[in-house]
Amino acid sequence: MFREKEKYGQNGSVIQRSKTKFFDPLKWTEPEMVFTCSWSDWFIEEADAWRDEAWHVIKKTPHLTYQILTKRPERIFEHLPADWGEGYPNVWLGVSVENQDNVGRIKILESIPAKIKFISFEPLIGPLTSDFVGAVDWIIIGGESGNDTGYWRYRQCALEWIERLVDGYRSSPHQTAIFVKQMGTYLAKLLQMTDNHGGNIYDFPTYLRIREFPKQ
C-alpha cells in the first residue's frame, strides 16, 4: 500500500474517508464481489468515526458481497453493527496471517459469527510451524510482490511454506476452499516465471494450481 501510494505522490500514513467513492456501492445494481479497504483496514481505529456509515452501505446493498479483511481481529467484536447476529448474509470476514507470529488471529476469527470466514496468507513471509489450521471456509495464499531495490523490496517466500498450508488444509475436516493467488516476486525470479509477481497459474507447480472459492 505504501509503495503504491508513493507512486501517486500520496502519504500512506494519512487515513481518511474517500471523498468520491464511499457511497458508490449504493449506485451499483448488478451483483458483484467488493473487496473493502484494499489500501487500509476496515477495523483500524482511525476509521471509528465513519464505520457505522459503511455498515449502513453494506446493509442497504444485499446484492453485493463484501470481503472484509483485517489485521486487527481483536477490534472486531466491539465494532460490529448492533444487528449483526450470526453475521450479515453478504459479508465475508477474514484475517491476514503472514507468518507464525500472527496465527493467534485465526483463533479470534473462529470465535466470531460470520457467513464466510477466510484467512489471507498473503504476503506469506515466513513458515507456519503449528496451529495454523483454523475452522474457516476459505484460504488465500500468496508470496509478496515488490521492488528489487529500495525501501519497498519484496521479502522471501518458499514453496515448502505454501505446500505446508495446502497440505494442512487438505487434510483438515473443515473442507476449506483453497486459492493459491501468486508465488510472489522472490519465487517468480527464482523459478523464472513469466509474470513478475508469479501470478500466472500455468507457471505454478502442477500440484499448486488451485483456485477454489467457498461454497455459499
- Compute the distance between CA of residue 185 and CA of residue 163 in angstroms, rounded to an integer: 17
Tens of pLDDT, residue by residue over 170-189, are 999 999 999 999 999 999 99
Q: What pLDDT, on a 0 to 100 scale, did the predictor assign at position 148? A: 86
199 is a domain residue? yes
- Compute the distance between CA of residue 147 and CA of residue 11 in angstroms, rounded to an integer: 19
140 alpha-carbon distance from chain centroid: 7
Binned at pLDDT 50, 70 and 90, residue 132 comes out as confident
**Are 131 and 150 contacting, i.e. CB atoms less than 8 angstroms apart?**
no
List residues bridging with 93 in a β-sheet: 68, 117
145 is a domain residue? yes
- Report the CATH number at residue 70: 3.80.30
The total number of structural domains in the chain stands at 1
* Mean pLDDT, residues 124-142: 93
Question: What is the residue-wise DSSP string for 117-148?
Answer: EEEEE-S--S---SS---S-SEEEEEPPP-BS
18 is a domain residue? no
* Mean pLDDT, residues 53-73: 97
- Compute the distance between CA of residue 154 and CA of residue 174 in angstroms, rounded to an integer: 32
67 is a domain residue? yes
164 is a domain residue? yes
Q: What is the mean pLDDT of the chain?
A: 92
179 is a domain residue? yes
Structure-block grid coordinates of residue 189? 525470479
Binned at pLDDT 50, 70 and 90, residue 161 comes out as very high
Name residue 92's amino acid: W
214 is a domain residue? no
Query: In what helix (H) or strand (E) does residue 3 lie, and over which residues does it extend?
Result: helix 2-7
Burial of 133-172, coded b for 16+ CB within 10 Å and e otherwise, reads bbebbbbbbbbbbbeeeeeeebbebbeebbeebbeebeee
Domain with 86 in it: 2-11+29-208
Flag whether pLDDT at 13 surpasses 70: no
- Coil/strand/helix, residue 33: strand
- Compute the distance between CA of residue 168 and CA of residue 196 in angstroms, rounded to an integer: 28
* Dihedral sign, Cα of residue 119, residue 125, residue 127, residue 130: negative
The model's pTM is: 0.91
* Mean pLDDT, residues 156-173: 96
Q: Verify cis geometry, omega within 30 degrees of 0, for the bond prior to 123.
A: yes
Q: What pLDDT, on a 0 to 100 scale, did the predictor assign at position 20? A: 77
149 is a domain residue? yes
